[in-house]
Amino acid sequence: MSPALDLPTVWAFIIAFAVFAYVVMDGFDLGIGILFPTFKPGRERDSAMNSVAPVWDGNETWLVLGGGGLMAAFPLAYAIILPALYAPIIVMLLALIFRGVAFEFRWRDPAHRAFWDVAFTGGSIIGTLAQGVTLGALLQGITVEGRQYAGGWWDWLTPFSLLTGVSLVVGYAFLGATWLVMKTEGDVQAHVRRMAGWLGAGTIGLIGVVSAVTPFLKGAYYENWFAWPNVLLTAQVPLLVLVGTVLFFRSLMRGHEYWPFLLALGLFGLSFVGLGISMFPYVVPGAVTIWQAAAPDSSLIFMLVGAVVLVPIILTYTGYAYWVFRGKVGHEGYH
């Protein structure tokens, strides 16, 4: 196998890209759901929801690509990870049902709008918490025997997985707040700008805590981060986080509208790179590498042809959809 085109590595990057696209795009949708109760019922809530109503469905599709792609490219990993994380994944799916239908239902049923608002927020918070728990449970390691999960049904629940769960809730709320800084005006914008400051501080603090704990979990994390001379490279990640933090607070103070969101994306991107450094080349940390889990080459090549052609097209028309609905969100009509 030539190192120039190692198919499992290529697919690991594609799936990582899909998961990252999901995390940032549905991240701000879910963040708006988490922040929803802090807006006044009526026009504030309406415009917050309006800002993502045309795009949330496309954003959530990256989750299907992440899950479906994992099954297709790394079926063994899919078959081990999903049973291991049974409870948080089922909870996430159920929570996302409430969150998703709330977009339509709250407009159809003014009499029960309060109920669907609670469903929107509850679905967003619980769904995010479950995603964060899933991540933490994966990082802390999964018991594998042969080709199957061999642990218990509550292995996923640990202080570390709860920490990553809460961190993701704060992080998505941070993304949602900076998104709304970009999409709203007036009182709402002033409110989300304040929130963005607090949530930014919280997110960065929690990134620090999770990063500090992760190398001491079992697995090769410590080695991946601190082995000489790799550390010269890996040390750039926390340094860049510091730079990003400074730039973020500066742009927020100066009243910039787009930069806080873009810098928040940058901080998420750096966290994601950090995650990649921790995990690579394992897909089930400490147990299964991407090469062990990979589907046969005939599967990977067949999909790669499609992905190379289709993903750029998808990104193009997704960009078009965002372009159509660009600018500040309205809470009332312009017809």
Partner 1 sequence: MFDDISALTLARAQFAFTVSFHFIFPAFSIGLASYLAVLEALWLRTKNEVYLNLFKYWLKIFALAFAMGVVSGITMSYQFGTNWSVFSDKAGPIIGPLMAYEVMTAFFLEAGFLGVMLFGMNRVGPKLHFMATLAVAVGTFISAFWILSANSWMQTPRGFTMNDAGQFVPADWLAIIFNPSFPYRLVHTVLGAYLTTALVVGAVGAWHLLKDKTNAGARVMFNMAMGLVAVAAPIQIFAGDMHGLNTLEHQPAKVMAMEGHFESHPDGAPLILFGIPDQKAGEVRAQIAIPKASSLILKHDLDAPLAGLDTVPREDWPPVPIVFWSFRIMVGLGMLMLGLGAFSVLARVRRSLYDWPLLHRFALVMGPAGFVAVLAGWVTTEVGRQPFTVYGLLRTAHSAAPLDAPAVAASLLAFVIVYFVVFSAGTGYILKLMSHAPHPGEPGLEESPGQPVRTAGITPAPGIHHAAEGDAS
- By the rule CB under 8 A, 254 interacts with partner 1: no
> What binding mask, one character per residue, do residues 296-315 give for partner 1 by CB under 8 A, x or -?
x-xx--xx--xx--xx--x-
Q: Tell the smallest beta-carbon distance from residue 306 to partner 1 (Å).
A: 6
- Nearer to partner 1 (CB atom), residue 95 or residue 195: 95
Counting residues that bind partner 1 (by CB under 8 A) gives 82
**For residue 127, which amino acid is it?**
G
Which residues from 229-248 bind partner 1, rule CB under 8 A? none
Closer CB to partner 1, 198 or 317, in the complex: 317
Distance CA 275, CA 65 (A): 19
Output b/e per residue, 93-117; b: 16+ Cβ within 10 A. Answer: eebbebbbebbebbeeeeeebeebb
The least distance separating partner 1 from the CB of residue 144, rounded to whole angstroms, comes to: 11
Q: Shortest Cβ distance from residue 203 to partner 1 (Å)? A: 25
Spatial contact of 178 and 138, defined as CB atoms under 8 Å apart: no
Query: Considering the rule CB under 8 A, would residue 157 count as an interface residue with partner 1?
Result: no
Q: In the range 211-230, which residues lie near partner 1 by CB under 8 A?
A: none
- Nearer to partner 1 among residue 232 and residue 332 (C-beta): 332
Task: Give the DSSP H or E segment for 96.
Answer: helix 86-108
258 binds partner 1, rule: CB under 8 A: no
Selected from 16, 32, 51, 217, the binder of partner 1 by CB under 8 A is 51
Q: Which residues are CB-neighbours of 269 under 8 A, at least 6 positions away?
A: 20, 24
Cα distance between residue 8 and residue 6, in whole Å = 6
Q: How far apart are alpha carbons 268 and 131 in whole angstroms?
A: 15
Task: Report the SS3 class of residue 10.
Answer: helix
Q: Which residue has the tokens 């609670």?
A: 118
CB under 8 A: which stretch of 206-214, 222-230, 236-244, 317-325 binds partner 1?
A: 317-325
One of 10, 72, 237, 273 touching partner 1 (CB under 8 A) = 72
* 43 vs 256 by CB, closer to partner 1: 43
- Of 2, 3, 13, 1, nearest in space to 290 by CA: 13
One of 1, 13, 41, 68 touching partner 1 (CB under 8 A): 68
- CA distances to 5, 22, 31, 162, 173 from 267, rounded to whole Å, are 30, 15, 15, 21, 14
Q: Which stretch binds partner 1 (CB under 8 A): 80-88, 207-215, 243-251, 277-285?
A: 80-88
Q: How far apart (Å, rounded) are the C-alpha atoms in residues 15 and 67?
A: 9
The DSSP element (H or E) to which 118 belongs, if any, is helix 113-139
- The residue range among 29-37, 90-98, 241-249, 262-270 that interacts with partner 1, by the rule CB under 8 A, is 90-98
Per CB under 8 A, which region of 1-9, 59-67, 172-180, 204-212 contacts partner 1?
Answer: 59-67
Which residue, 174, 156, 137, 139, is CA-closest to 248?
A: 174
Q: How far is the CB of 261 from partner 1 (least distance, A)?
A: 15
**Contact map string, positions 263 to 302, toward partner 1, x by CB under 8 A:** --------------------------------xx-xx--x
Interacting positions 179-208 with partner 1 (CB under 8 A): 183
